[in-house]
Structures are given as structure tokens and as C-alpha cells.
Chains A and B, each alone.
Chain A
Amino acid sequence: MNLLKRMYRNETSVPFAKLWKPVGICSALILIISVGSLGFRGLNLGLEFEGGGAWEVPATGIEAEEVRDALRPLGIADARIQTGGGVLRVRTELSKVAQSDLQQGESSDPIVAQVTTALAELTGQNESAISVSTAGPSWGEEITNKAINALIVFFIVIALYITIRLRWEMAVGALLAVAHDILITVGIYALFQFEVTPPTVIAFLTIMGYSLYDTLVVFDKVRDNEHLLANAKLTYTGVVERALNQVFMRSVNTSITSILPVVSVLVVGSGIMGAVTLKEFALALLIGLVIGTFSSLFVASPIATMLRNRFGDSEADSSRSYRLSEAVRKRSKGNQPALKVPANPAIPPRPRKRRR
């Protein structure tokens, strides 16, 4: 039987445990590059975070696209352009030094004068009619601080949630996987110096939510298979490997359904229709979603398994009797005659005898 067919039938037997080490090394390398570029190059924070300059020109009947075209030669095609009330406003990033100079009424950075000239030419206004001022960040420190505090609470509560619902080892695995995904995505932004805007931050948060959700689905499968620990049928690693194989096709399919729309945004939205702002945003999401699925299988699971093998009581696991299934049977009583109910709904029923 070929591999695709086996995949379709969830009968793959990928030796995940053997792959963990080599994949983990690759993952670690990428992580080092990400953190390294984050440390050395830093993030290219946009106007909304760092502030910049604002030009206001009295002008009517001018289209934002014309302004954008005029600013393109200056390398600031991504400026925020708004019209309204007979005023054209252009905002773009400036260095901190240029900003504080501008506050003093000087313009040390040549770009300030260049933008003024370009806008004067475009609108036919005198340069003196253009007011130049600093533009403060709209995403101020207050917002960032609140978001960081909220994220800390978020991680603590989610860690507790997973510990109560599943296991503490899984909580550690899941949160490290989330951190891994976010660090790599943010690292890509640092490496290529993509501009970080508020939508980018939202993309990071989306990836975080997705990664967590995906990991929980995988861990739930692992838990459903834990009954195989009883009577030493399988080691914990074996249980996890089995669960990952069962959930593998679901991971692949979910990735496909999640990624198709994002690829479409990248290709159709940004490539064909030319919405530039969508490009980097979609790219971040694409990478994040792929890594988010990947990390459930290759980061969260090995970490949880490793911790469990190290700190868990494997003796107790393997000698555990069938108490678990009894609890389940009691619970599901009343719905159906007890005889028909499988001992544990998570255990698939025995295959029927093959028909001749």
C-alpha cells in the first residue's frame, strides 16, 4: 500500500520519537538564528510604535495613490496618507534624533526637507504652507504594558488550565511550543527587517492562539491513549508516538485548510491585486501557522514526553490496572445498555471478523 493511502487511512507509523532529535536540532538552529537576529538587528518598529514626522498640506482633490507614487522615490511608499477637510496629511517614520530635532524646529534629517519638497511639487503649494511636526506613537507604552501584563496572566492561567485538565508536563510543553512559534515568527521579522505594525502584532497573537489550540488537540489524543500504559502495554513514548500517528492526518488536513486562505491572501491579495500591506502580514501568518502545527508534533510532544519520562512515575503507570476504564463506564451508564458501551470510548472497538 502506498504512503498516501496509508495516510488517508490513518495507518501511518511515522517513528516520531526517532525524528524528534534531528528535527529538534534543526528547530534549535532556527531558534538561535531568530533570537540572534532579534538581539542583534532588533525589530523594525513602525510609526505606530516609534513615532515619526507628520506633514500637513492644504490640498483638495488629491488621491492617496498619487501621493504614494510621489513618495516612492524617497523610499517611503509605506507612509500613512490621509485626506479630509481640505488637508492632506502624510505620516512616516523618522529616527528619534530627527524627531527631537523636529521638535526644536530644526530638520537635521534630509528626508524631512525632501518630503516637504515632494509634497510642495505635487500639490502646487508653497513649501511654507506645509506644516511639519512630530507624530507621536499611537500604540504607546501604556498599550504595550497592558498587553504584556495581560499575556503574563494569560500564560499563567493557561498553564494552570492545562495542568488541571491534562498534565503539568503538557502545560510546559504547550507553552514552550507557543514561545517557540512566536520567537521564530518574530525572528523572521527581525532577520528581514520587515516593518512591525499593529496588525503584525495581531498576527503574532493569532499565531499564539492557533499554536495553543493545535497543541491541545494533539495532547487530548495523547491522553486518550494513556490507557495503553496500563499493564505495561506501551511506554509513555510509545503512547505519544501512537497518538501522534493517529492525529497526523488531522494535523495535515487542518494545516491545509488553514494555510490555503492565507496563501490566497499572499498570492491573490498581495501578488495579483497589489495590496502591499497584506504581503508581510500574510507571510508572517503563513509561517506562523505552518510552525504552529509542526511544533505540536515536534516541540510540544517531545518536551512533554521527556519531562514525563524523567519525572513521571513509570512504575505506577505500567502497573496501573483498568480503573480508568471503570470510571468511564460508570459515567456513560444510563445512556445506553452498559454491555454495548465499550470499556473506554477512547479505545476503538475490536475489528469485526473479516468476511470471506
Chain B
Amino acid sequence: MKRQVLLPLLSILIIVGGLLGLSIGAGNSVLLGLDLEGGAEVVLEPVDDIDLSGEALNEALDRAVEIIRNRVDGLGVAEPDITRQSNRIVVQLPGVEDQRRALEVVGQTAELRFRPVCAILPAVPIQLDQSNNQNQDGSDDGPVGILPTDVDAPSVEGAEEENAGPMTSTPEGIGCENLGFTPEEALGMQSSDTEDDEAEDPVILPLLDSEGNPYQRLLLGRTMLTGASLETADASFAGFEWQVLPVFRSGADGIDLFNAAANACFNRQSICQTGQLAIVLDGVIESAPNVNTPFFERDQIVISGNFDQNRAQDTALVLRYGSLPLEFGDPTDPTSGSRVRLVSATLGQDSLDAGITAGIVGLAFVALFMMAYYKLLGLAAMLSLAVSGTMLWVILAWLSETRSLALTLAGVVGLIVSIGTSLDSNVVYFEHLKEDIRNGRTLRSAVDQSFPIAFKTIFWANLASLIGAAILYFLTVGSVRGFALMLGLASILDLVATYFFLRPLVKLIGMQKSIQDRTWLSGLPTPVAEEK
């Protein structure tokens, strides 16, 4: 009987201790936020010769801020500080001690790629079904058409392809040739991660409708040309609809590459069987127009389709600048207004020290209270808190390493608050225990009977917190997201520590004969109702 209790108790102690050891051994530690430890700062100033001014410049800057924020958020859960100072954008990244790293995060320009559409797949991966093969003929319902303004342009043979870069997993070939798997096999495959979007590999990406939900997935071949071939792009209103007008560079690296792709698609060659050419930015399909002509003049290309004004202008901006709607000076170039440097904390060590001292003092008072009120059970509660606290530290340190989480002062105070709230599950259990014993149960049976009921209460209440945390985490950005993460973690750890540590520990206490008769030690009433 005793072994049944000691075994889980020892296992969790070993697991938690082992995790702590691993975490320390791996050198993981919790990063501190901008307010406590500072970080790296990148200042971006638009180049002098931009043709934007006034409201247009203002909007472009706002959009750039939004794009940078999305990019930083996409990298993890750090709480960056992204602001505009007049016409400059100031990006501060917590926990980054390397200026080059900061530049990578902020300055990395999105890559624009043109890929042939090899097959159209349903929005959700399905099991292999050989008979149903509608992939090859999906071209007719392509949402967008590509047309030259100069219709009687002669058709031209495909030019030399140059994109035979290093290939790791997939066999040689261009476009849709030799993918390494058939479109039928692709039906059952998961969509590619945005991060795995390698130029030289085929990818499967979702096509989104206006609400951002995937309604189709496209199997895309290897990149045929990139945004580097583009010179500029514009949006214009032509009679009855909005169009995007890209202009390619002249020569072998520009329009020739595009025409080679266009020709292959127009002739439904094996490298572009569907006749559709997808424009992919940062792993997101911007558009997948049908190619309706085999040859284009470099400045006579029109992408038309169901564009409204915003989308046409956004697409043009994306084509023009890759990602940021403005050209910024190079931060490493001292003559430009842009800069990169390390910055100090806004609050600093004093605040952190104050927070930590206050936390320790608070914790001491809580421990005193719990032990005065619940005696031995109070001690058990504090041990349980230590277990969940250790697990929290391990997880935070791990997230700091992998997802660049950084603890701000608000986070520290949040942790202090969670001390009190995570003790609530203990209080709920102990109160139930006391009530049961007072009602006549023996300590041993009360320990067994009370836990499921108390745990049910705790479970459903924590589940509500967890649902809330998940919603906030996935729908928000910045510090609200950081809060959601903390709330979710605290709820899960509360349940884990209560179930796997507190329950066997209290059971162990309940088994001790010596404790059962000493109410001053157990903090529990004697089983027999006293005189009223």
C-alpha cells in the first residue's frame, strides 16, 4: 500500500529534478525583458530618395511597423517594442545581445518567388485515393488570369533556366518535373511549413479566401524566378477592375526568366502542367494566375482578377519592395540614418531586485500562513508549490532558449500573483478534507474520498482559464500574448502538481498512524464531532 504512494511521489520528484538538471546542464536560463535587461535596437530610416511624402509616407511607415511586428511575433513570444519616431522606425528586441542577430530579425527581407502550380489539392489532406484524380485539370477555374496588354506579341521558346542550385532531398529537375512524389501522393501530405519553404524544393501551400480560410491547397513546383527579376510594380484601375502591373528587369535575369516560365505554363509543358504560375511571398500564396500568353514584354504585363483597391495596392507594394513597403537605409552603413546598437533597460536592476525581494517576502508570509492554518498539510502545499515552481522555471528557461520568451516586470509580478492562486487548489482540497473528517470519516478514507471531488472543482475551473488563455494566445500579439502564455502555463502546472504530487503526498500523510492522532500536527479536526 505504501509503495503505491511512494512510487509516484518519487517518480515525479525524479522527473522534475531531472528536468531541472537537464535545463541547468543545457545552460538554459530565463531571459529578461526590455524593461529589465534591455536588448538590441535597430533604427530604420527611409532612404532620402523615396518618392513618398505626407499621408502616403505615413501609411507606408505604419504598414512597415505592422509587417515588422508580425515578423518578430512569428519568431517567438518575445515582447518587442516597435515604435515610430517621426519618420524613423525603432525596433527594440529583448534578450538579443548580438547586433547581427537583431539585424537578421528585422532586416530579413521577404522572398518573393514565382512557382508553377503542379496540382490543385483539397484544403485538407486526404487518404490516398487513386481513382479520384482531378488535379491535372484544375486550371480552368483559376481565380485570376494573366494577360499581356500587347496581344499580338509573338511566342518565344523558353530561355535557359538557371535555378539549378543545391538540392538536398529532391531529385534534379525544374518546375514540376521529378518532384520525388506524384500529385496523387501529395493528396495525403500535410501543407509545408512557412519556414521550410525552400526555393529549390516543391511545396504544398494553402490558398486562402477573403476571410483567410484555406479553400484549396496548391502543389507548387520549384521556384522558377524570384522577386529579384522584378524592377517595380504598380496598381491601376483599368475601366472596371483593379489590376496589378509588374515591370520586370530586362535581360537574362529579368524578363527572360519570366517568359521561360510563362511559355512553359502556356504550353502546359511538364514543368507547369496546369498553366498557372503562383506568386508566393514568404511562404504565402499571393495569387496564382493563369498564363494566357506565352510571351510578354517586360513592361506590358497585367495581373488581373478579383482585386479590390486595397488588395491590388498591397500586392503591388509587395511586388515592389519584397516585404517592407519602403526602402530603408542600411543600418550597418554609418552614413545612413539607420542604426543598430545595444540599449539599456528602461527600468533596470533596481526594479527587478525589488520585485524579487517582494516575491520572497510575500512567499515567506504565505508559507507562514499556510503552515499556521493547515499545519503539516500547509507544508505539503508549499512543497507542491516548489514542485510546480521548478517546473515553471524549466519551461520558461526552455521557452527563452527556443522561442525567445523574455520575462518583463509585469511577468514577474504575474508570477508573484500566481503563487497565491495556485495555492487555491490546495485550499479547496484541504477544506474538503476537513469537512469530511468533521462529518465522521477517518483521515484515511477522507483523503481518498475528498480528492476526486476537490480535483473536479479545480479541474473545471482551471480548464476555463486554459480555454481563455488559448483564445488570447492565438488571437493577440505582444504583451497580451505573453500574459496568455503565463496564464495557460500556470493553469496546467497547477493541475499537474496537484494531481501528481499533492495527492500522493497527502495520501502518505494520511497513512501515518502517528499523525492521525495528533491533530495539532495534521491541522485536521478529530474524526468525532465535538460538543457543539
* Chain A interface residues (CB < 8 Å from chain B): 1, 9-10, 51, 54, 64, 80-87, 89, 103, 133-140, 142-143, 146-147, 149-151, 153-154, 157-158, 161-162, 165, 198-199, 201-203, 205-206, 209-210, 212-214, 216-217, 220-221, 224, 246-247, 249-250, 253-254, 256-265, 267-270, 273-275, 277-278, 281-282, 285, 289, 342, 345-346, 348-352, 354-355
Known A-B contacts A216-B464, A253-B427; the reply to A205 vs B483 at CB < 8 A is yes
A257 and B341 form a contact (CB under 8 A): no
A119–B339 Cα distance when bound, in Å, is 22
B354 and A273 form a contact (CB under 8 A): yes
11 chain-A/chain-B pairs, Cβ below 8 angstroms:
A1-B532, A136-B85, A137-B83, A154-B471, A209-B487, A220-B460, A246-B435, A249-B431, A258-B424, A269-B355, A281-B410
Nearest-CB residue, chain B, relative to A276: B351
A250 and B85 form a contact (CB under 8 A): no
Known A-B contacts A220-B457, A351-B439; the reply to A265 vs B480 at CB < 8 A is no
A150 and B472 form a contact (CB under 8 A): yes
Tell me if B's interface is mostly helix, strand, loop or mixed. Answer: helix
Which residues of A have CB within 8 Å of B145? none
Which of A165, A254, A350, A352 contacts B528, CB < 8 Å? Answer: A352
A212 and B465 form a contact (CB under 8 A): yes
B480 and A150 form a contact (CB under 8 A): yes
Which of B65, B420, B441 contacts A349, CB < 8 Å? Answer: B441
B413 and A257 form a contact (CB under 8 A): no
* Smallest CB-CB A-B distances: 8 pairs: A85-B341, A258-B420, A261-B362, A264-B362, A269-B358, A136-B84, A84-B343, A275-B354
A261 and B416 form a contact (CB under 8 A): yes
Q: Measured between C-beta atoms, what is the minimum distance from B522 to chain A in Å?
A: 14
Which residues of A have CB within 8 Å of B477? 142-143, 146
A254 and B420 form a contact (CB under 8 A): yes
A270–B357 Cα distance when bound, in Å, is 11
Nearest-CB residue, chain A, relative to B62: A140
Which residues of A have CB within 8 Å of B69? 142
Q: Measured between C-beta atoms, what is the minimum distance from A256 to chain B in Å?
A: 6
A275 and B351 form a contact (CB under 8 A): yes
Which of B354, B420, B440 contacts A352, CB < 8 Å? Answer: B440
A260 and B369 form a contact (CB under 8 A): yes
B41 and A84 form a contact (CB under 8 A): yes
B366 and A260 form a contact (CB under 8 A): yes
A236–B217 Cα distance when bound, in Å, is 55
Q: Measured between C-beta atoms, what is the minimum distance from A293 to chain B in Å?
A: 10
Which of A158, A202, A349 contacts B468, CB < 8 Å? Answer: A158
A89–B344 Cα distance when bound, in Å, is 10
A217–B219 Cα distance when bound, in Å, is 50
Q: Would you list which residues of chain B between 344 and 393 have a CB under 8 Å from chain A?
A: 344-348, 350-351, 353-355, 357-359, 361-363, 365-366, 369-370, 373
Q: Would you list which residues of chain B between 407 and 459 have a CB under 8 Å from chain A?
A: 408-410, 413-414, 416-417, 419-421, 423-424, 427-428, 431, 434-436, 438-441, 449, 452-453, 456-458
Nearest-CB residue, chain A, relative to B457: A220
